[in-house]
Amino acid sequence: MSSEQRETRTRILAATWQLLEEKSGKEVRMQDIARAAGISRQAVYFHFKSRSELLVATTHYVDEIRDVDGRIRRWEAATTGVERLEEWVEMWGNYIPEIFGVGKALLAVRETDEAADLAWKDRMSAVRSKCVDTVEALERDG
C-alpha cells in the first residue's frame, strides 16, 4: 500500500471515529464518512469493502491510537492471577472513558445496524478472551 493510500485510509478511520462520537447513536453512513474525510464514497469503498469492515477497522484503529496493545502487555507480564486481575481492572478502568464515545455509538445502533453489531461483537470477543484468561490464572493460583 502506497503512503498516499495509507494516508487516505487513516483519514477515513479518523473521520469514522469522529463521526461515531459526534453522532452518538445515530447511524453514520458511508456518504457522511466520505464527506468528513474529504474523499468520494467510492474511495471509501476502495479501502473498505463494506461498512461492517470499516466499523471493525475503526475500533481497531482506536485501539491502536490509544495503545491498547501496550496496556495489554502489562496484563500479560503479570505472573499471578491476582496481579493479572489488578492489571485488567487498571487497564479497563482507564481505557473505558477513552473509548466511551465509540462504544456508546455502537451500542446505541447495534440492534438495528448489522455493521455496528459486528464491530461491537468483535471488540467484546477480545475482552471476553482476556477475562477468561484472567479467571483461569486466578483458578490456577487457588
Per residue, what are the HEC states of the chain?
A: CCHHHHHHHHHHHHHHHHHHHHHCCCCCCHHHHHHHHCCCHHHHHHHCCCHHHHHHHHHHHHHHHCCHHHHHHHHHHCCCHHHHHHHHHHHHHHHHHHHHHHHHHHHHHCCCCHHHHHHHHHHHHHHHHHHHHHHHHHHHHC
**Residue range 42-48: mean pLDDT, rounded:** 95
**Residue range 100-111: mean pLDDT, rounded:** 83
- The model's confidence at residue 99, banded by pLDDT at 50, 70 and 90, is confident
The reported pTM is 0.78
The average confidence (pLDDT) of the chain is: 90
Q: Whose CA is closest to 106, among 48, 51, 45? A: 51
- Does residue 25 register a pLDDT over 70? no
All three cell numbers of 72: 495489554
